Amino acid sequence: MSGDVIAWRRGFRGALRSFLRDVDLVMVDVNYYCELGASYQPQAPAAWPSGSLQGAGPAAANGDAGPDDPAGRMLQSSNLRLMNYHPPHIFTYVLGDNSYLGTIVLLRRRLHEDTSAATLKTMEDLRSFMTFLLSDVVARHNLARPIDRAFDNALEQIARELGLNEQDREVLAVHLCGYPVQTIATQMHIAAGTVRKVIDSIHSRAGVDSFAELFSKYFTSHLLDRDDVRRVSSAGGMPA
């Protein structure tokens, strides 16, 4: 684990899709701050376009995914034509009784038979292993590349407010780390022109003209809360 969470998530999705042969799309949400004890309350089942939703239902089907509905948020931000897929199969992982660790969503196109019972049983059989795997990447991420929780919260806020899809969110995250367009393109395996279009679109939707304006508008106020400001004033420096 190198600490590159974007590369890890992409590799994990690819490996799981290769392993589960009757799955067309894998989505993964990881709570990198699980050790803080964030709780998870599952949403009530919701209708899926052209069919009922089995198990837990993403509010994304109705366009109202909330912060406590990770599967719904992923589906909503993906810009998928949901009617082209069977109802998703959602696997939620927790540590202890209520510490939300992550969610895996499996999707199968309607032009194929739905994901088999054998595949779903395999996922259930691997539940303990998946829990270990997700908790391991959380621990390694926090050791390798500690990130201020306020920064992560601000990143999530801008993604929600601007309606960013998964690719947009990944470009934004790397963009905010200061990497040039070509580096982002190479890391994400997409064209440099695509990266430029995504960045220009984000700036336009945010009503800013530059990286500095974007950061100032959405992130500065989140990175220093009132308690932090008081600590900075009293200590004469940045908070630890």
Nearest CA among 90, 30, 28, 38 for reference residue 59? 90
The domain boundary residue, chosen from 115, 144, 173: 144
Among 144, 172, 207, which residue terminates a domain?
A: 144
Crossing angle of helices 192-206 and 211-218, rounded to 10°: 50
Query: What pLDDT, on the 0 to 100 scale, is given for residue 234?
Result: 44
Regarding whether 138 and 75 lie in a shared domain, the answer is yes
Determine, yes or no, domain membership for 51: yes
User: Does residue 100 sit in the same domain as residue 183?
Assistant: no
Q: Do 174 and 97 fall into the same domain?
A: no
pLDDT digits (tens, 9 = 90+) for 151-166: 676 777 788 888 888 8
Condensed to tens digits (0 to 9), the pLDDT of residues 52-105 reads: 444 434 434 444 444 467 888 888 777 788 889 999 999 998 887 677 888 999
Predicted confidence at residue 141, as pLDDT, reads 67
Q: Is residue 128 part of a domain?
A: yes
Are 171 and 194 in a shared domain? Answer: yes
pLDDT at 97: 66
Which of 116, 144, 172 terminates a domain? The answer is 144
* Residue-level pLDDT at 233: 39
pLDDT at 17: 85
Residue 240 falls inside a structural domain: no
Q: Residue 194's domain is classified under what CATH number?
A: 1.10.10
Q: Same domain, yes or no, for 11 and 50?
A: yes
| Residues sharing a CB contact under 8 Å with residue 107, sequence separation 6 or more, in sequence order | 23, 24, 25, 26, 27, 80, 85, 86, 88, 89
User: How many distinct structural domains can be found in the chain?
Assistant: 2
- 95 falls within a domain: yes
Query: Rounded distance, CA 130 to CA 128, Å?
Result: 6
CA distances from 57 to 34, 51, 154, 231 (A): 23, 12, 27, 43
Q: CB neighbours (10 Å) of residue 196?
A: 14
In a domain, 156, yes or no: yes
**What pLDDT does residue 121 have?**
94
Q: Structural domain of residue 202, as residue ranges?
A: 149-235
Q: Which amino acid is residue 152, in one-letter code?
A: D
In a domain? residue 132: yes
Q: Are residues 197 and 139 in the same domain?
A: no
Q: Which residues of the chain have pLDDT under 50?
A: 1-3, 36-37, 45, 51-67, 146, 225-240
Query: Same structural domain for residues 10 and 126?
Result: yes
Q: Are residues 132 and 178 in the same domain?
A: no
Structure-token match 């595949």, residue found: 119
Structure tokens at 158: 């801008």
**Does the residue 87 lie in any domain?**
yes
For residues 102 and 34, membership in a common domain is answered with yes
For residues 140 and 220, state if they share a domain. no
For the chain, count helices (H), then strands (E).
11, 3
Same domain, 134 and 180: no
* Same domain flag for 121 and 29: yes
In a domain, 58, yes or no: yes
- How would DSSP label each residue in 99-167? EEEEEEEEE-BTTSPPPPHHHHHHHHHTHHHHHHHHHHHHHHHHHHS---HHHHHHHHHHHHHHT--HH
